[in-house]
């Protein structure tokens, strides 16, 4: 009777065993492996699996270690840590804050934009939230920002690292979905930028409706002024307009140039054009600023030069990494290696590269890479037993009764991922939950790149949700717990409470949920950015082969199925040519012999 119960409920018991191990505090990677091995042995004893089942497991684990795609994780992690530890975040926040500081809500807008830049460099939520919490929160509190708006802006901007390329989440999801990292990057680019725009729009509305929540910086806080007292914004606007014009011109000539240089038959994707146009515009701004400083022409203001020298190098690095990936010149792994090298060069130029920084970056990178690989190995052991027990069929049966078809499935999955994201890290979700959902999504005809972008945006939402949102914990760890005296104004600043941090996240959670709904309602935001693959029919293929043959074209054939003709050619026992000859000629002569026979 016990054997029958175990046999009939093997898959649910497998999940229950994993849950018990996780609740005990056992490390996730080893809990996955222990559940997989333990229940695999139980299945062998029950006669569900052959005794030699686990002989194939070492080969699967070895295959994981040979996966080149996962090399992008340590490369992008190393790139982000070098840029972060070399003071890039501080420089960006100070400079962008000076640009928007004279406006109401300007510091909050600067935090959002810098958060997007940090997301495109660090790719890790913890690094982005902690950096901005340490740097920008004291400034916002000093000048009277609402604590709810300040904390919400910092936590929400930090979670942009989940959805904006080159995100570690997208790399892991691409591996689990069986799709290319480049496709996930291309699909997530437009939704990620749209989310940044919604954040900025929300801050602008707050600054208009509740101006006392988001005051402008006072004149004494604006440090980049001209000798005549001017702010330098006019010079910056002229530079931006000039570079935007250069970028626009490049966008018009990009496709014909790249088509000729790369010998492509398909038009350039929209995201590729945008990235490369922004790269050219950024290079133009940097070149003009260097010329202005070297020649001392004085055409640019202090603010314009500061913005260019601080903002352009990391932007150019990001655009070059993404641009080479979108162009197909480099794989994501090669792009990550180039980004890591570029980060080292930038740190050397700023004279902030030291052995201590290198050691810290390599140490953190090794820890994160080992963490990811061990979880992946553990999840492979677990899924090995799960698939052997036909667990994918059990999961399909869980969803086949859901009304609404694709929409119903997506709603339930998003709710599940949203709840799980409040308790466990995205790596665990990607390695445990996503492989269970992929077969069901494929069977329903759901585009997996679209599905992956939805999951990435959902995971970003769950990082903000009280009471277990990880981004909230990260900010809580660096926000002042007690009243303190401000070092600039000398005023006493009250402590930031946990309730204020939780309240600040609510509005941004609503924005992110709306963005998930927009992506679900308009799949074109994702899949229209993917490279279209040209397909031709069998008849068109044969016509192309005949046209390529020139004078060697075979005599007219009877109207037969091309596939049958090919099969007949392949079945010829005495081929007239050797494999070393022209394959087209061999095919034509074989078809001609078949016609004669």
| One-character DSSP codes across 360-427 | HHHHHHHHHHHHHHHHHHHHHHHHHHHHHTTHHHHHHHHHTT-TTHHHHHHHHHHHHHHHHHTTS-HH
Exposed, middle or buried by CB within 10 Å (0-12, 13-18, 19+), for 521? exposed
Model confidence pLDDT, tens digit, residues 61-101: 887 777 777 787 788 888 877 877 777 777 777 788 788 87
Phi, psi of 171 (to 5 degrees): -65, -45
pLDDT, mean of residues 187-202: 90
Kindly state the tokens that stand for 589: 């002569």
Per-residue model confidence as pLDDT tens digits over 556-593: 444 444 344 434 444 444 444 444 444 444 444 554 45
CA distances for 385 relative to 14, 37, 381, 460, angstroms: 9, 7, 7, 30
* For the chain, percent of residues with pLDDT exceeding 70: 86
Q: Please check whether residue 258 is in contact with residue 279, taking contact to mean a CB–CB distance below 8 angstroms.
A: no
554: pLDDT strictly greater than 60: no
Tell me what pLDDT residue 542 has.
Answer: 59
Flag whether pLDDT at 546 surpasses 70: no
The pLDDT assigned to 122 comes to 61
Q: Tens digit of pLDDT for each residue in 105-116?
A: 888 898 898 888
- Which pTM value belongs to this model? 0.74
Task: Tell me the mean pLDDT in the region 357-382.
Answer: 84
Report, as an integer, the average pLDDT of 21-34: 82
585: Cβ contacts below 8 Å, ≥ 6 apart: 549, 552, 577
Rounded to the nearest 10 degrees, how much is the dihedral formed by the CA atoms of 389, 394, 395, 397? 160
More confident residue, 454 or 552: 454
pLDDT (mean) for 327-331? 76
- End-to-end CA gap in the chain: 68
- In this predicted structure, what is the pLDDT of residue 314? 81
């Amino acid at each position: 009777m016990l054997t029958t119960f175990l046999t009939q409920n093997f898959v649910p018991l497998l999940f229950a065993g994993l849950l018990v191990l996780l609740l005990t505090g056992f490390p996730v990677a080893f809990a996955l492996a222990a559940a997989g091995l333990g229940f695999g042995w139980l299945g062998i004893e029950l006669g569900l699996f052959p005794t030699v089942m686990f002989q194939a497991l070492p080969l699967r684990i070895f295959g994981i270690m040979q996966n080149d795609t996962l090399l992008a994780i340590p490369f992008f992690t190393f790139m982000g840590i070098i840029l972060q530890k070399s003071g890039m975040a501080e420089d960006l926040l100070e400079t962008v804050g000076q640009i928007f500081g004279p406006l109401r809500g300007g510091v909050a807008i600067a935090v959002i934009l810098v958060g997007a830049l940090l997301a495109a460099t660090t790719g890790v939520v913890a690094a982005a939230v902690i950096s901005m919490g340490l740097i920008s929160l004291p400034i916002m509190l000093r000048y009277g920002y609402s604590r709810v708006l300040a904390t919400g802006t910092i936590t929400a901007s930090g979670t942009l690292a989940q959805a904006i390329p080159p995100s570690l989440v997208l790399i892991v999801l691409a591996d689990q979905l069986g799709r290319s990292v480049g496709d996930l990057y291309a699909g997530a680019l437009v939704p990620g930028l749209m989310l940044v725009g919604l954040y900025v729009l929300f801050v602008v509305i707050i600054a208009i409706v509740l101006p006392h929540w988001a005051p402008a910086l006072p004149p004494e806080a604006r440090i980049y002024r001209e000798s005549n007292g001017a702010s330098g914004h006019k010079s910056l606007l002229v530079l931006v307009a000039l570079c935007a014009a250069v970028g626009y011109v490049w966008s018009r000539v990009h496709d014909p140039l790249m088509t000729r240089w790369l010998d492509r038959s398909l038009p350039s994707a929209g995201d590729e054009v945008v990235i490369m146009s922004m790269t050219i515009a950024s290079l133009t701004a940097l070149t003009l600023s260097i010329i202005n400083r070297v020649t001392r022409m004085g055409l640019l203001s202090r603010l314009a030069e500061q913005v260019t020298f601080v903002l352009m190098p990391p932007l150019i690095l990001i655009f070059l990494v993404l641009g080479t990936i979108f162009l197909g010149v480099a794989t994501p792994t090669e792009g990550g290696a180039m980004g890591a090298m570029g980060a080292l060069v930038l740190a050397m130029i700023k004279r902030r590269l030291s052995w201590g920084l290198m050691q810290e970056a390599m140490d953190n990178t090794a820890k994160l890479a080992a963490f990811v690989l061990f979880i992946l190995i553990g999840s492979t052991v677990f899924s090995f037993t799960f698939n052997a027990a036909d667990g994918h069929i059990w999961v399909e049966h869980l969803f086949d009764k859901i009304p609404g078809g694709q929409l119903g499935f997506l709603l339930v999955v998003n709710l599940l991922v949203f709840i799980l994201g409040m308790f466990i890290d995205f790596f665990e979700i990607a390695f445990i939950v996503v492989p269970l959902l992929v077969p069901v999504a494929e069977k329903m005809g759901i585009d997996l790149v679209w599905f992956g972008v939805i999951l990435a945006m959902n995971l970003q939402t769950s990082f903000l949700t009280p009471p277990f949102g990880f981004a909230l914990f990260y900010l809580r760890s660096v926000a002042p717990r007690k009243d303190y005296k401000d070092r600039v104004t000398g005023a006493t600043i009250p402590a930031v409470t946990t309730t204020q941090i939780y309240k600040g996240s609510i509005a941004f959670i609503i924005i992110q949920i709306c963005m998930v709904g927009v992506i679900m309602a308009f799949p074109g935001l994702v899949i229209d950015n993917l490279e279209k693959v040209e397909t031709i029919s069998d008849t068109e293929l044969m016509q192309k082969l005949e046209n390529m043959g020139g004078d060697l074209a075979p005599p007219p054939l009877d109207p037969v199925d091309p596939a049958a003709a090919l099969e007949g050619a392949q079945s010829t026992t005495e081929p007239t040519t050797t494999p070393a000859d022209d394959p087209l000629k061999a095919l034509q002569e074989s078809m001609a012999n078949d016609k004669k026979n």
